[in-house]
Structure 1
Amino acid sequence: MNRVIHFALARPRTVIASWLLVLLVAAPFALQLEGALKAGGFSSPRGASVQAQATLEKAFHEAPNSVLVVLHDKQGKVTGQLPAARKAAERPEVSQVTDVRTHPDWVSKDGKTTFLQLSFHSDNTTVQNLVPTVRDDITAKVGHGTEVDVTGAPALDYALNVHSQQDVTRAEAIAFPVLFVVLLLVFRSVAAMVVPLALSGVTLAITQAIGYGLAKAADVNNLFVNIVSMVGLAVAVDYSLFIIKRFREELDEDRPVPEALKRTMSTVGHSVLFSGLAVAVAMSALFIPRAMSFTSIALGGLTVTVIAVAMATTLLPAVLVLLGHRINWGSLRRRKDKDSAPKKAPAAQAGRFVKRPALLLVVLVAAFAAIAYPATRLTWQVPVASATILPSDDSARIGIERIKKDIGLHAMFPVQVVLTAPDHDAQALLKATERITADAKRAPGAGEVQSVTTLGVPPQALPQTLANGGTGLPAQPRAGLAQLWAPSGHGQLATRVVVTPDSDPDSASAHHLVNHLRDKARFVDHGTVTVRIAGSTATGSDFDQLVLDSVPLVVGTVALLSLLILLLAFRSLLLPLLALAFNAMVVAASLGVLALISPDSEHSINSVTPLMLFSVMFGLSMDYMVIMISRMREMRINGGLSHQESVLGGLARTAGLVNGAAVIMVAVFASFTTAQISIVRELGISLGVAVIVDAVVIRRLVMPATLLLIGDRVWGRALGRATDSADFAAPATSSETEEEVPHVLSDTPVR
């Protein structure tokens, strides 16, 4: 990597021209990213509900995708508009149109609301793209007096895609002006402010172009663009801030531009590399669940971090070589002479830390525990068959809420117990069905229950009736039998028990019903009979379980790899362990705040939020850890200062830098609290809170108090070697600092 940095310093115009060429090539692809992304991905691809749904599609020829066209007429009977709506809905992609002709209960009591179900054998993406066309065509046919809203899974996914892109555009429109002001206040120079903003824009554009290529090769969720903007703006601007601020300090020491840049990149430049590695490791852990939503987040976070680090270590130094002292162009105030500024001895900073670090630490830990406690009441639940994730004026949300209010939603999303067995074990399959049906009728939260045992066929005649396909039954029971008992291919029979919950699919009651049926199924699912649960609630439950099962692996992977990286960097075991403890405190506190402000009485949050918060925050907080500990460690090992002086002096010298970086991150995350998508708002709030807590409380209070309490042994083996070689005899010179301190750890030589 040193060779790359040296090349950027030696051939700045070549490096800048190369990046501009990459940007020109990337721009057209970046503009196409929105159309290539998919919604969904909030299901476990290996969950039992997915397998059960596949059995239903094969045995009963159920369409894999469908939308609901909701018609509402405030003035009169809406059923008069059904013929026109059906005709407008017909198209080659629609395999079946279902309405009140076969489901008389699909109309409200006042006759003003009804809906049609359009079934598609096309994939979800194809159906998503048809949603606006279907809505416009039907609206044109039924007239302006009837409101038309299209809802259902593909319509909700389509709306998520649209609003997700709008959220990113709005957040960036807010973030960039805020960053403009923040960077101007931090640098007090127009040139120093413009450079990070320009680099962050280029970083986002190139990452989005790469995202387009990834979306063409695999399914990528629309959360990709949100995480790219969130993490990309934060790391790109922060890394530029670290490097530019150090470069200006070197220039203030009257060093020539080439020497100033070499010193900057050999210290802070390597710290940026290290910080980027920590973020990349944390984001990569989200590949573990192997679900599209998490994989998309991991791809976005990993890609934008790599691009940001690459630009910070190549393009940025090349730009600074050419700018030189012009980086201070447009200064808002006269820069003070470096020798005129009053210097405050580290001992004078002692205050509360030196006097009672143990007491301060106890109070702060207790405060963190109190703030984090509400997180124990959080319910991790991905929204299913629900539009609450969308803004209230969205058509897909209006449609599903109108069905819920006027007709009833729970009947549209039944819980289905799918049973399969070999053809020759039809008797065992029937007995299992009888048992599941009886259990379902007694289950809390269950409404109507349908199976082959509820068709009215006498029990003694049922085996023969099933064997001959319902011959002799009236037309309606025979049609019902065909939808409840059928061959599923490969010598297998399939049947289902359809349970209508007495509450909405997202409710706690519906989830308890699914869990109850799964518990009962364990007593049946053995031998030749297999039992699985299908339906929206079951799919959401499987995804929630996937997340919970992945937590130990994700947390363990991030913790272990981060521990190894920090152990290699700091040559101390205590420092990496402290880093893990500090980050755990930050994540717990931010989840506690999220629980406190949750409007849901069940304190429910999207199950994606905690893992994503942990991974993103764990990586980003390493920036502060590396910058601050590196300075403290350098002062202790190479600067000839006592442990107390090193901790307090390092804190004093890096506090302003960390505060500036934190303000930038908070500004970025706060801009996403305006998002229309609820999960994006959750992430914006929780990440913003986490950064404030980390920078203001952990790094300014908890960390220095802990370091003072532990004492010299926190520096590990590096301190022993330095002591043996009498490195503390006198402050190191600049050249000695560069040789003795590992480059990845030095952010500023001791002067």
Structure 2
Amino acid sequence: MFLLRLTRWVLRHRLLVVLGWLAVTVAGAAAASPAIGAMTSDFGALPGRPAYETNQHVLRTYGNGGATDPVVLTVTLPQGTTVDGSGVRADLAAAFDRIAAGARIASYPGTGDRGLVSADGRTTFALLYPSAVETYPRYARSLPAVERAAAGVRVRGAPVRVTGTDALFVQSSEAGGPGLLAELTVAGLGALVVLAVVFGSALAVLPLLMAVIAILACFLAIWGLTAVSDVSFVVQFLVGLIGLGVAIDYSLLITTRWREERARGADDVTAVERAMTTAGSAVVFSGVTVAVALAALVVLPVPFLRSMGYGGLLVPLFSVLVAITLLPVVLATAGPRLARLGSRAPIRRGGRGRWERWARLVVRHPALTAATATLLLAALVVPAFGMRLGAPAPAATASSGPARQALDGLTAAGVGSGVLSPEYALAGDPERAASRARAVPGVRAALAPSGPSWRRDGTGLVTVLVDRTASSARGAAVRAEVRDAMADVPGTRIGGTAAQGRDFVDAVYGNAPLALALIVLLTLALLVRAFRSVLLAVKAVALNLLSVTATFGLIVLAWQRGYLSEPVWGIEATGALTEWVPVMVFAFLFGLSMDYEVFILARIREEYDTAGSTPGAVVSGIARTGRLVTSAALVLFLAFVSLAATPGTEVKVFATALGIGILLDATVVRAMLVPALVVLLGRWNWWLPRPLARALLLREPPRATEAREPSLS
């Protein structure tokens, strides 16, 4: 067996292995900072897609706009004063021009368009396009100057307030949030507490040490990757926090099995070899399965997601490498001393305890357990069908502060928050394009200013404002009608953040069935070989898909409808999930939750091969892995809780989805549904046709009959 040969080799060359990983660790520590510095902040690159290319044309020609929403200046005049009052329009023009300081701006005084004024005439807003930078948010550097200029301006005693999607995002980021090092520290301390409870000795530090080494190795690889490809800045959080959880999980499984073998009387080296050929094998299959799921992101035609896939792909691979090479050396060399240091009590034989009692309960009532878990998951799946993709509602970006107050004043005056994200059109005949857009019901304004900052290189820039956000059903419908209406104008191209979001959905989710089929087939092949069973593999994939879908339902309830976001973070319902969140959640959660499936079923398979009893294998397998899986899930959950502290609503949604999904999977799916279905399927669990066994290079097909079942009462 490969793992046995590898284990014996690393044990014979302990010094070489330790020095090798020491060198990688030191190099990784040195590479972490430059790797993070080389990461990009561009979320939305979609080369070749119509809206993206239009936005890039706008950016090159006009210097800003396109995929960047404008800074919005708002003024609410005192009671009794309207924009039509004597001299008010001139005062507004002077105020807006002073703040713009030469930047491109569209306002009521400049265009005369009543769409920029509230129904009562007291509130008006202007769209400002200051100098932009390449990093996100593009107006971050310009906003302080705009805000300072606005602070010194009043119109008839009313202040000029600043809002917009960039202003809201910057404000939410400034509200506070730990950096990567702080998040890793919090997650690491939480993991250490969990591990201390599991091991009750100094062995608790071992999985944490392996995780640190794996994370630094990932950063070393990513630093090299930044030289040949763009890597998103979000990758640093994924590598740090998901790497922490995954590497700890793998080391936890192997160390627990090593300790169990020693308790059975094996010497230190033999215990390492047995742990590696059993738990180590499960770790390898689990790591490869996680990597396969994340590899789907690499093939997507979106640079941002591709870089996330690279980072996510490296995490399980380096975690597995550390677990199967360095960990055996440390266990054989320092493991016994760590196990004695601070030890509270010897390990109990047989895995007896609460998990064994739970397993026996499931075995006695498998149908009831399976039905209960299935009904719960089905109830959670239903909300998933109401998922909407799009930018979160602006009000969900920041819960307080000046930018949020300005937005609230705008919406209170009857102006919808959808105006913060206009649709743009590059047109050879901008007046005609704007006229077509104005005729669409639901369009608030269609602006086609004639100044030189709006007409360049034979094109004119048209700005279409819709009250409803693009993520709402009505807002999306209105924007679709606008696109259709302007399509008849020759040479018209549509851009804007909403249009680019639609391109993202088409690029990613249009190929989703093919990518999903590829993931499922590869995962099935791996699992059939790992479990030596067709039905166990099919069940594992089916339950993973069910678990992920139920998680989507939970996130719809938690964020899209605001049942969790409002009480926990004070963030209003987002109304939609950012386009990249579901595909990222699927890739990571499908792979991570498969860890637990492999851990549990591999042990059940091993126990069945030993005793030939399916119910007995379930009881023994759950008794020995239940606490392990729960602890591993808790470690990952704490990592995602730390990630959720990162500023930015989208990252919070992503982290919440992974955290809730891991807990749901480790409890309802793995502790209830998996063992119940194994009991119900009986001997069919172990069915594997001989031709398929030969094709997968399995030496022996699984046994077809079971021994007499012992009493489990």
- When normalised by structure 2's length, the TM-score is 0.79
Alpha-carbon distance in 1 for matches of 2:331, 2:159 = 59
Is 1:708 the equivalent of 2:679?
Answer: yes
Question: Which secondary structure does the structure 2 equivalent of 1:314 belong to?
Answer: helix
Distance in 2, matches of 1:316 and 1:590, equals: 33
The whole-number CA distance in structure 2 between the counterparts of 1:216 and 1:500 is 41
For residues 296-335 of structure 1, what are the alpha-carbon distances to aligned partners after superposition, in whole Å with 9 as ceiling and x for unaligned? 3212211222221221122222222320311213334231
Match of 1:388 among 392, 396, 402: 396
Map of 1:691 onto structure 2: 662
- The aligned residue for residue 365 of structure 1 is 374
Q: Deviations over 1:128-184 (max 9, x none)?
A: 6734774798699999x9999876666677678878973645543432222121111
Which blocks of at least 5 consecutive residues in structure 1 are unaligned?
421-428, 452-476, 489-493, 731-751
Residue number in structure 2 paired with 1:511: 476
Q: Is 2:426 the partner of 1:415?
A: no
**2:516 maps to amino acid:** V
Moved more, 667-676 or 178-187: 667-676
SS in 1 for 2:444: strand
Identity of aligned residues (%): 27
Equivalent residue number for residue 537 of structure 2:
576
Deviates more, 1:307-316 or 1:404-413: 404-413
Question: 1:278, CA displacement in angstroms?
Answer: 0.8
Paired residues for 1:287-326 under 5 Å: 287-326=298-337
Cα pair 2:46 2:52 within 8 Å, conserved: yes
SS of the residue aligned with 1:648?
A: helix
- Aligned residue for 1:379, secondary structure, equals coil
Distance in 2 of aligned mates of 1:28 and 1:363: 51
Distance 1:315 1:392 in 2: 49
Compare 692-701 and 29-38 and name the one that shifted more: 29-38
State the one-letter code of the partner of 1:52: T
Of the structure 1 ranges 118-127 and 24-33, higher mean CA displacement relative to structure 2 is found in 118-127
Contact 1:231 1:305 (C-alpha < 8 Å) held by counterparts:
no
Tell me how far apart the structure 1 counterparts of residues 368 and 70 of structure 2 sit (CA, whole Å): 61
Q: Does 1:68 align with 2:79?
A: no
Structure 2 counterpart of 1:614: 586
Instruction: State how 1:39-438 maps to structure 2 within 5 Å.
Output: 39-42=41-44, 44-56=46-58, 68=71, 102=110, 117-120=128-131, 123-124=134-135, 130-131=141-142, 134=145, 166=178, 168-189=180-201, 191-335=202-346, 338=349, 351-383=360-392, 386=394, 388-390=396-398, 392-393=400-401, 413-419=421-427
Alignment of 1:626-645 (within 5 A): 626-637=598-609, 639-645=610-616
* Gap change, CA 1:333 and 1:141, over 3 Å in 2: same
Give, in angstroms, the shift of residue 583 of structure 1.
Answer: 0.7
Taking a change above 3 Å as real, the CA distance of residues 12 and 149 of structure 1, as seen in their structure-2 partners, is: farther
| Aligned residue identity for 2:71 | L
The whole-number CA distance in structure 1 between the counterparts of 2:319 and 2:176 is 23
Q: Report deviation, 1:88.
A: 9.9
The alpha-carbon deviation at position 283 of structure 1 amounts to 1.1
**SS of the counterpart of 2:284?**
helix
Q: Secondary structure at the match of 1:239?
A: helix
SS at match of 1:334: coil
Question: SS at 2:71's partner residue?
Answer: strand
The residue identity in structure 2 corresponding to 1:443 is V
Deviations 1:179-211, CA, capped at 9 Å, x for gaps: 12111100111x211112222223333333443
Q: 1:666 aligns with which of 628, 637, 653?
A: 637
Distance 2:37 2:127 in 1: 28
Residues 482-512 of structure 1 show CA distances to partners (whole Å, capped at 9, x for unaligned) of: 946x765xxxxx5665433234555543322
The one-letter amino acid of 1:567's match is: V
Counterparts of 1:596-615 in structure 2, within 5 Å, are 596-597=557-558, 598-599=561-562, 603-615=575-587
How many angstroms apart in 1 are the aligned matches of 2:528 and 2:631? 27
Quickly say closer, same or farther: Cα 1:603–1:148, change in 2 above 3 A: closer
1:274 to 1:149, Cα distance in 2 relative to 1, 3 A:
farther
Is the contact between residue 41 and residue 291 of structure 1 (CA under 8 Å) also seen in structure 2? no
Q: For the structure 1 residues 261 and 35, does the alpha-carbon distance in structure 2 shift closer, same or farther, using more than 3 Å as the test?
A: same
CA-CA distance at 1:562 after TM superposition: 0.6
Q: Rate the CA distance shift 1:410–1:255 in 2: closer, same or farther, 3 A.
A: closer
The whole-number CA distance in structure 2 between the counterparts of 1:135 and 1:56 is 22
Higher alpha-carbon deviation: 317-326 or 289-298: 289-298
Greater mean deviation of Cα atoms: 529-538 or 108-117: 108-117
Contact map agreement 1:180 1:197 (CA 8 A) in 2: yes
The 1:413–1:711 alpha-carbon spacing in structure 2 relative to 1, beyond 3 Å, is closer
1:624 corresponds in structure 2 to: 596
- In 2, distance between residues paired with 1:115 and 1:723? 73
Where does residue 654 of structure 1 map in the other structure? 625
Matched, 1:15 2:17: yes
Q: What secondary structure is seen at the aligned counterpart in 1 of 2:510?
A: helix
Which SS does the other structure have where 1:120 is aligned? coil
Using a 3 Å threshold, how does the CA distance of structure 1 residues 118 and 695 change in structure 2: closer, same or farther?
closer
Which stretch shows the higher mean deviation, 218-227 or 61-70? 61-70
The aligned amino acid for 2:500 is T
Amino acid at match of 1:311: V
3-state SS of the aligned residue for 1:636?
helix
Matched, 1:595 2:556: yes
How far 1:437 moved relative to its partner?
A: 5.8
1:188 maps to amino acid: G
Output the CA distance in 1 between the equivalents of 2:438 and 2:96.
37
Could you tell me which residue of structure 2 aligns to residue 29 of structure 1? 31
Secondary structure, aligned partner of 1:117? strand
Distance (Å, rounded) in 1 between the aligned partners of 2:351 and 2:185: 40
Which residue identity lines up with residue 707 of structure 1 in the other structure? V
Taking a change above 3 Å as real, the CA distance of residues 439 and 684 of structure 1, as seen in their structure-2 partners, is same
Distance 1:87 1:704, change over 3 A: same
Counterpart amino acid of residue 280 in structure 1: A
Q: Is 1:96–1:119's contact at 8 Å kept on the other side of the alignment? A: yes
Task: Specify whether residues 450 and 582 from structure 1 end up closer, same or farther in structure 2 by C-alpha distance, changes over 3 A only.
Answer: same
Classify the secondary structure of the residue corresponding to 1:416.
strand
Structure 2: gaps spanning 5 or more residues: 79-87, 563-571, 694-698, 709-713
| Aligned pairs (5 A) from 1:513-592 | 513-520=478-485, 524=488, 529=490, 531-592=492-553
Offset at residue 533 of structure 1 (A): 2.2
What is the alpha-carbon distance in structure 2 between the residues aligned to residue 447 and residue 72 of structure 1? 18
C-alpha separation between the residues in 2 aligned to 1:570 and 1:337? 27
Residue 111 of structure 1: CA displacement?
9.8
Compared with structure 1, are the counterparts of its residues 418 and 107 closer, same or farther at alpha carbon in structure 2 (3 Å cutoff)? closer
CA contact (8 A) 1:353 1:705 kept: yes
Counterparts in 2 of 1:588 and 1:241: CA distance versus 1, 3 Å: same
Question: In the alignment, what sits opposite 1:749?
Answer: none
Q: Residues 351, 128 of structure 1: CA spacing in aligned structure 2 closer, same or farther, 3 A cutoff?
A: same
Q: Structure 1 residues 35 and 392 mapped into 2: Cα distance closer, same or farther (>3 Å)?
A: farther
Give the C-alpha shift of residue 107 in structure 1. 9.9
8 Å contact from structure 2 (residues 291, 313) kept in 1: yes
| Local SS of the residue matching 1:686 | helix
- Post-superposition offset of 1:534: 1.8
Higher gyration radius (CA): 1
Query: Number of paired residues?
Result: 672
1:364 alignment partner AA: A
